[in-house]
Amino acid sequence: MFLLLPFDSLIVNLLGISLTVLFTLLLVFIIVPAIFGVSFGIRKLYMKTLLKIFAWATLRMERGAKEKNHQLYKPYTNGIIAKDPTSLEEEIKEIRRSGSSKALDNTPEFELSDIFYFCRKGMETIMDDEVTKRFSAEELESWNLLSRTNYNFQYISLRLTVLWGLGVLIRYCFLLPLRIALAFTGISLLVVGTTVVGYLPNGRFKEFLSKHVHLMCYRICVRALTAIITYHDRENRPRNGGICVANHTSPIDVIILASDGYYAMVGQVHGGLMGVIQRAMVKACPHVWFERSEVKDRHLVAKRLTEHVQDKSKLPILIFPEGTCINNTSVMMFKKGSFEIGATVYPVAIKYDPQFGDAFWNSSKYGMVTYLLRMMTSWAIVCSVWYLPPMTRETDEDAVQFANRVKSAIARQGGLVDLL
């Protein structure tokens, strides 16, 4: 029989007590509030504290750069501090100053090497058009302590470096394990809860349980991202028999909206973990899943959606008409399919605050696992959601005009650029 030494027994007891205390704190401050949809204000206090730290760090950087007499941000590079607009002449002078030991007064107005500068500016103008730049991360005007990889950022102070190192420890050693545990809890409860509810006979009781299981699990997942969400005009929330359309920045848009409302999801059938979640969810709620071979059949998709919205007892459908993720500075062209059905449309505008973490998913640069890791190691996800008044298609409007009218309303309310 294996016997524990007194010291080993003490370690085991301390570990057990620590896990018990941790689970109790999770239950009392996170899971139970998620079930009842209440908040103790801890996340908002956390956000205000971070804002003060960011402001101090930015001021410290600016003061340190001024004391050492070098720029915090050089032109023609991507930095973490926003640059003031400069003319072509000033940029050329900066290039000559950094690449030559001659005095600027003695240099000619034009040098042969200037050709390379103009060629580069021309290429940048072609590549960095209004559409292309919407698929890259939004630049910040202040440092959020998430990166020290800026090309021009110089060592400024020991305190700033220690603060950044402390932030890394907090995000990776405390927040990341906590968030993973919450995400696992939320997903597990969603699969188990919807599966159990799915065996109940159809009726009001099943619908009641299904709604609250979905809301509870999505709210736990929201807390797994330390998401701080402000909802506006809740009286305009989507209702049964309608279509909810929103601008699309990230896969977590679904969680953001579903933690405050009960929706029928639309999407393609997947395999793996996502497939398990989809099969469990559809047992408890009439979601609209399409097989891979059905997605390209526009008429079949339109028919399924029309049948759903014509039944006023069914949940509103949640759709992102852009069809891809945009960096939350603009709204791209809406696909007309969901506007041809003839249902009432409930527009929703979502605007993220990139100071605490960039929610934009650049799918060409990051895979889903990498993206989720970046989300869970950011400080928080802060966003505002506006529910706009319902809109219907006018008699003299076609589907494209209706889609553009809805898109313009979302862009205007969210403070986004409306790209045609």
Global confidence as pTM: 0.77
The answer to whether 120 and 92 are in contact (CB under 8 A) is: no
User: How far apart (Å, rounded) are the C-alpha atoms in residues 300 and 291?
Assistant: 11
The alpha carbon of 400 is separated from its chain's Cα centroid by a whole number of angstroms, namely 27
Supply the pLDDT for residue 243: 92
233-243 as b/e, with b when 16 or more CB fall inside 10 Å? eeeebbeebbb
pLDDT of residue 273: 75
Residue 347's Cβ-count burial label (10 Å; 0-12, 13-18, 19+) is: buried
Q: What is the mean pLDDT of each run of 10 residues along the chain (420 residues)?
A: 59 78 75 75 84 81 69 44 52 59 54 68 60 54 57 59 85 89 89 90 89 90 89 92 91 91 84 80 83 69 84 88 84 86 91 86 82 88 94 88 92 83
Domain residue spans of the chain: 88-135, 227-418
Say what the pLDDT of residue 346 is: 95
| Distances 233 to 76, 253, 319 between C-alpha atoms, Å | 42, 18, 20
Asked if 380 contacts 357 with a C-beta cutoff of 8 angstroms, the reply is yes
Identify the pLDDT of residue 385. 95
